[in-house]
Every structure is written in structure tokens, then in C-alpha cells.
Chains A and B, each alone.
Chain A
């Protein structure tokens, strides 16, 4: 037996400010480079942009000093840097394709930071969220169901995962996943002992009783069915992984992961053989470079992305100097390929390392925080980001079949960006509790 205690608990606010300054330089330089190569460089614009970014950073920083003084110091700079690099790349593709996603993404980013600050101000103690365990579960399911409501839901590219609110399309699934993480955390922390210990033993593994498992199974099955019906493969994979990850963290039983993974592989193989939609995805993944598959259009996007990244090489073509716009959806689903082309392997690795840092902070928070609900919440949110990045990057680099998910903070998409800023807000709130010394918490 051993206990882990922190030797010195520094709030880290000053290191956060230093890292933020570095992130600010990266964000502004990225946009300046993009504008320069598109021959649109206006120093006034850059100054306004730089001022706005600095204002947002300071607002977030001051909020943390006020309401979460011990919160994790590297989360915010990492997230800001990712968001800024994403905006620059989206703007770069705007110049090539004459769209205005970049400007919209900037507005979403401002809203995202505002939502984060709002959540930090309103939710002063993450443990209060536990009261809304079942509410969160119902809200999550309703959000998943919304796109199926006639007149409200809209179908884009074969997936019915958007709803239309006042002319804007919103992807409620992005918010539903947070609600379901809260539900799982609240439910599992109450029932983890009965789930882990009580129940019949079959083949040397202990299975939980139906009445303990019931609510979990209902929510899980409903969400999976809805997503399969909406043809949202990436989201169903993400949701399944969150479910398994949190179950494993709560019960410490590897049998769950083994059962879940084998079920998933059996289900995936079955779907790959029978469902035409899934089958074509598998075909495009396994035989991407086959001339027939390519000319049929199923693997065109994937292959173009691969060639883009290959032309980027080790150090990339430079921001604004490549041709990422040759890939369809270069600003959303394939932003990783666009960045891989223009920043090269070196830049992409830096971006992936930033993700690793964010996920590591989430798990470290989970270890450090004292209450079980906070542990599960932080771990669940960490799994969310980790799995999402894996599914996106794995899909784009042809490690796993391509599914439509957005890279957190980088890709264009208002719902995704807002939801991920919400995740950051919750992580900051839990980490404040985790890093504060025990005297300060009890006082």
C-alpha cells in the first residue's frame, strides 16, 4: 500500500500566463503567415486579431484566478494554441475555396471561451453536478433523439445528426456526450461496488446483476441504436469507448474491456459484411489505393489526404503554401491532413503531443481529486478527447476505417468547438479541486 501526495502545490497561474504568451505568439503568427501567403496581409487586421486573442486569454486567466485559483496551468494554453492553429488553417482553406468558415470559427471560439467562463462561474463545485445524474442521462438521450424529430432534423451527407435552430445547424450529439459522461459518472460512483462485486460468476468472471446494470444498459443501448439509425458511425464508436473506459475506471475489472472489445469487433465485422454503408467504408479503408475503389469515389478523400500529408514531408510546405484544398472537407473532417501537409510531420507531432498533454492532465486530475464522482468525471472527459483524436487521426492516416468525427478544437464546427470548451471548463473545475491542498478544501 502506498499513498501519493503532492510535495508542493503551486497554483501555477504564473506559469500559465507564460505559456499563454507563447500560445499567443503561435496563434498570431499562424494567422499572419496564412494572410501573407494569400496576399491579404493587413497589419491592422492582425493587430485587431491579436488584441482579441489576448483579451480572451486574459479574461479566461483572470476568471481562473478568481474562481478556480488552483486549476491546471497547462490545459488552457494547450487548448488556446490548438484552437488558434485550427482557425488559421481554416482561414487558409477559405482563401483557396472562397468560403468564410474561418470568420465563423472565430465567432464560435469567442462563444466557446465565454461558455467556459460562464460554466466556471456558475459551477463552483463539480460535486453538485452529481445531483443531476438522471437528469443528465435523460437530457443526453433527448439530445441524441432530436435529429430524428421530423421538421427539426436535417440530413447532411447521409448522416442525420444535425438539427436546424434559427437557420443554424447544430449537432446536439456533441453536447449529449458530455451529459452522458456526467450520467455515467454519477451512476457508476453510486453503484460501482454492486457492479463489481455482486452477481453470478460465469467462467471465472463475475457478471453484475440485471437490476444494477439495467439503467446503464438502457441508456447505452438506446444511444447506440439511435446513432446507428442516424448513421453516425464515429459517434457510436466514441460513445462505446467512453462507456467502456468509464466502466473500467469505476470497477477496475479488465473483463469489462475484454468483453466490450470482443463484442465491438464482432459487431463491427458483422456490420462490415452486411450493412452497405459500413461495407463501403471498410472497402475504402482496406483497398484505398485500388483504382476501382478510388474512381468509384469512396476512397478519394482519404487518398487525397494521404498524398497531401506525403507531400508535406518532415517539415511541411509551410502555412499557406500547400494545396490542402484539394481534399474534400479539408477544413473539418480532414483538417489533420491539411495541417499534416502544411506543418509536416514535425508540426503534426507537436499538435498530437498537445492532445496528449490535455489527456494526461485529465487523468492526472482524476488521480488527484478526492471524490469518486470527480474521478470518474475527469477520466470520462479525458477518454472523450483521447478517443475522439484517435478516431479522427486514425481514420485520416488509414489506421482504422474513416468515420466522420471532428478533431477537437481544430476542426471547423460550432457545436464541436463549444462542446469541447465545455469539456475544458469541467476539467478545469475538477482540477482546481484536485490540486488544492486538503486544508483549503475542508476549510
Chain B
């Protein structure tokens, strides 16, 4: 056999080895990516609710926190958005419709925050006429609207920063 054919066979062998490896990986792809992860959800009839991921731009960092799916009526005309700008849920955006938004650690809240400095039902953002208002629900560590502690309902304007625990929320249009 000539020198060139031997060299070709030499490299051909290496190529064949890798062909086997890649073919095997190709067969495995079905197994690696073909699995479906079914979230059991929280609470009853979790399955009938829309996927939580459709309601926000970023996935929550931990399971068990985040926007409770189905709690916000996304069909209603969104007057604005409540954006989380810092904290464990940074990047999450909640569209504001006509329903009040409850924030806290309890799984029944609209925005569930896993933060030791948050109370179970920490505060509530609700519409009043055309404007939005925020009210503290007797939280232990307080809610601050632009560094001012919220006691009685206060008007929540666009661009205002709402701080509770390690989380900051901003009202955007």
C-alpha cells in the first residue's frame, strides 16, 4: 500500500472513532433532551393553570418563589408593570391589570418572595381609580416607598421604588 493511503487510513481511523462517539451522543440526545419536566405546581388545580413562565421575563431563582401563575389576569389591559429590580426575583415583571397584587412569603400571594426579612403577607398594591396605591399589611420589617415607611395607603406613581426586605420593585408603564 502506498504511503498516502496509509496516512489516510490512519486519520480515517480517528475519524471513525469520533464518528462512533458522535453517533452515540446523537442517539443519547433523545434521552438527554427528550425528557419532560412536569412541574407539580403549588396548590390545587395547578395543572389547569397556565405555565408560570409565560407571565414573567425571567425564571425565579428558586422553586417555590415567583409569580403565582393565573393570579394575574393578563387579558385585561395592562396599565403598567411592576418590575423587580433587585433581590432574589430580580428581572421578574408583573403586568398590572385591574386586580390588586399581594406581595409576601405566603404561597397564596401574587408575588411570592423567599426572603427571611419578608412577612407572609407583606404589602398590597391595588388600583384606585386611575392611580395605584400601596399599603403595608402589618409587616415586621416594614415597606418603604422611596425611603419613606409605608403605613397607611400611599400613592404609588410611575418610577417610584418600593423596597421590602432585599427586594426592590419599580412601577413602570
Q: Give the B-binding residues of A (Cβ under 8 A).
A: 1-8, 10, 12, 15, 18-19, 22-23, 25-26, 29-30, 33, 36, 73-74, 77-78, 81, 85, 315-316, 318-319, 321, 343-344, 346-347, 350-351, 353-354, 357, 360-361, 364
Check A25–B27 contact: CB distance below 8 A: no
In the assembly, what is the distance between CA of A3 and CA of B12, in Å? 44
User: B9-34: contact bitstring with A at CB < 8 Å (1 yes, 0 no)?
Assistant: 11111101111110111011011001
Would you call B63 an interface residue if the criterion is a C-beta within 8 Å of the partner chain's C-beta atoms? Answer: yes
In B28-53, which residues have CB < 8 Å from any A CB? 28, 30-31, 34-40
| Candidates B20, B30, B31, B36; contact of A5 at CB < 8 Å | B36
Q: Give the A-binding residues of B (Cβ under 8 A).
A: 1, 6-7, 9-14, 16-21, 23-25, 27-28, 30-31, 34-40, 63
| Residue from B17, B27, B63 whose CB has the most chain A CB atoms within 10 Å | B17
5 A-B residue contacts at CB 8 Å?
A33-B13, A81-B20, A321-B10, A346-B14, A364-B31
Known: A33-B13, A351-B17. A4 touches B37 (CB 8 A): yes
Check B23–A3 contact: CB distance below 8 A: no
In the assembly, what is the distance between CA of A18 and CA of B19, in Å? 12
In the assembly, what is the distance between CA of A4 and CA of B40, in Å? 11
| Candidates B1, B14, B37, B39; contact of A350 at CB < 8 Å | B14
In the assembly, what is the distance between CA of A354 and CA of B25, in Å? 10
Check B9–A19 contact: CB distance below 8 A: no
Neighbouring A residues of B28 by C-beta, 8 Å = 74, 357, 360-361
In the assembly, what is the distance between CA of A354 and CA of B11, in Å? 18
Neighbouring B residues of A25 by C-beta, 8 Å = 16
Known: A1-B40, A5-B36. A346 touches B18 (CB 8 A): yes
In the assembly, what is the distance between CA of A8 and CA of B31, in Å? 9
Smallest distance from the beta carbon of B45 to chain A beta carbons, Å? 16
Check B14–A315 contact: CB distance below 8 A: yes
Check B18–A8 contact: CB distance below 8 A: no
Known: A74-B27, A360-B28. A354 touches B35 (CB 8 A): no
Check B6–A77 contact: CB distance below 8 A: no
In the assembly, what is the distance between CA of A315 and CA of B4, in Å? 16
Quick one: closest B residue to A36, CB to CB? B1
Neighbouring B residues of A361 by C-beta, 8 Å = 28
Check B9–A2 contact: CB distance below 8 A: no
Check B20–A3 contact: CB distance below 8 A: no
In the assembly, what is the distance between CA of A357 and CA of B20, in Å? 11
In the assembly, what is the distance between CA of A315 and CA of B12, in Å? 11
Q: Which 3 A-B pairs have the closest CB atoms?
A: A318-B10, A350-B17, A74-B24
Neighbouring A residues of B37 by C-beta, 8 Å = 2-4
Q: A4-B35, A350-B14 are in contact. List 13 more A-B contacts (CB 8 A).
A: A1-B63, A4-B38, A6-B34, A6-B36, A19-B24, A22-B23, A25-B16, A26-B16, A77-B20, A315-B14, A319-B10, A354-B20, A354-B21
| Candidates A7, A23, A344; contact of B20 at CB < 8 Å | A23
Check B23–A29 contact: CB distance below 8 A: no
Quick one: closest A residue to B19, CB to CB? A22
Quick one: closest B residue to A81, CB to CB? B20
| Candidates A1, A5, A10, A36; contact of B35 at CB < 8 Å | A5
Quick one: closest A residue to B31, CB to CB? A364
| Candidates B13, B19, B30, B63; contact of A30 at CB < 8 Å | B13
Check B23–A19 contact: CB distance below 8 A: yes
Known: A3-B40, A36-B1, A316-B14. A12 touches B27 (CB 8 A): yes
Smallest distance from the beta carbon of A30 to chain B beta carbons, Å? 7
Smallest distance from the beta carbon of A278 to chain B beta carbons, Å? 36
Check B9–A29 contact: CB distance below 8 A: yes
Check B1–A8 contact: CB distance below 8 A: no
